[in-house]
Amino acid sequence: MFPIFRKEISSFLNSLIAYIIMAIFLTGMGLFIWVFPEYNVLDYGYADLNTLFSMAPYIFLFLIPAVTMRSFAEEKKGGTMELLLTRPLTDWDIILGKYFACFLLILFTLLPTLIYYYSVYVLGNPVGNVDSAGVAGSYIGLLLLAAVFTAIGIFASSISENQIVSFVVAAFLCFLWFAGFSALASLSSTGAWTYLVSQLGLDYHYSALSKGLVDSRNVIYFVSVIFLMLLATRLVLESRKW
């Protein structure tokens, strides 16, 4: 796994992809938090980061597929996939190496947003008047959501050799899993059915974590979806033997 991980990280850092991704995310979030009317903290009048945690998932819907789309699609198109599969590496080594490399890039992209937390902390009246537990829970939720989107993106990249197709499929699946179940639940007038369907979506569990209460059930849900998507990726790679 580690040779693949190092190779992917080196590939990211030796290209403009990592730097462009970071610049787009941080610039977009900075504009929403500090500049755009009705969204920025200064006009809102409350020391919190609700704007960051409400807007970041929708930016991730496009940003993370842009990171993952090349993972397997580039290997297939360049003809290096067969060479990679002949090395003494298991399918899981290849999948996890690429997965953790992509997720680490997203993690590095999120780290500078801690400056926003410090800024809001200082701007509070009195200083420090911010829901730190809620912020911590929201960060955990955002990281888990990013981990799920990365797993979906890896899967989408494994089913096509065209990076654009992989991007579109990943963005669609991420949006469907994040907001699709909530939209479907809103169509039902039966309370029990609405609650059950909404629980299947990422939005429900992400919102629960954003309240600052880290429930093991929500964490297990995210981990289960990640495992499911990575398992689906392995089945795609394994299909070459059929």
Return the structure tokens found at 150: 């990365």
- pLDDT tens readout for residues 91-112: 899 999 999 999 999 999 999 9
Among 63, 62, 60, 52, CA closest to 20: 63
Which of the residue ranges 104-113, 132-141, 223-232 would you say has the lowest mean pLDDT? Answer: 132-141
Q: How confident is residue 45, by pLDDT bands cut at 50, 70 and 90? A: low
Q: Say what the pTM is.
A: 0.92
Residue 128 backbone class (left: φ over 0; alpha: ψ -120 to 50; beta: rest): left
**Domain enclosing residue 234, as ranges:** 2-241
Helix, strand, or coil (residue 214): coil
- pLDDT tens readout for residues 159-172: 988 999 999 999 99
Give the CA angle between residues 146, 149, 155 to the nearest 5°: 145
| Mean pLDDT for the stretch of residues 106-127 | 86
Considering its fold, how many domains does the chain have in total?
Answer: 1
What are the residue ranges of helices labelled H in 176-215? 181-186, 191-199, 202-209
Q: How confident is residue 191, by pLDDT bands cut at 50, 70 and 90? A: low
| Mean pLDDT for the stretch of residues 117-141 | 83
Q: How confident is residue 192, by pLDDT bands cut at 50, 70 and 90? A: low
- Mean pLDDT of the residues in the chain: 86
For residue 242, pLDDT beyond 60: no
Indicate the burial class of 8 (C-beta count within 10 angstroms; 0-12, 13-18, 19 or more).
Answer: buried
Q: What is the pLDDT of residue 241?
A: 60
Q: What is the pLDDT of residue 146?
A: 96
Amino acid letter, 86: T
Q: What is the pLDDT of residue 104?
A: 94
Among 132, 112, 138, CA closest to 55: 138
Lookup result for tokens 């991420």 = 174
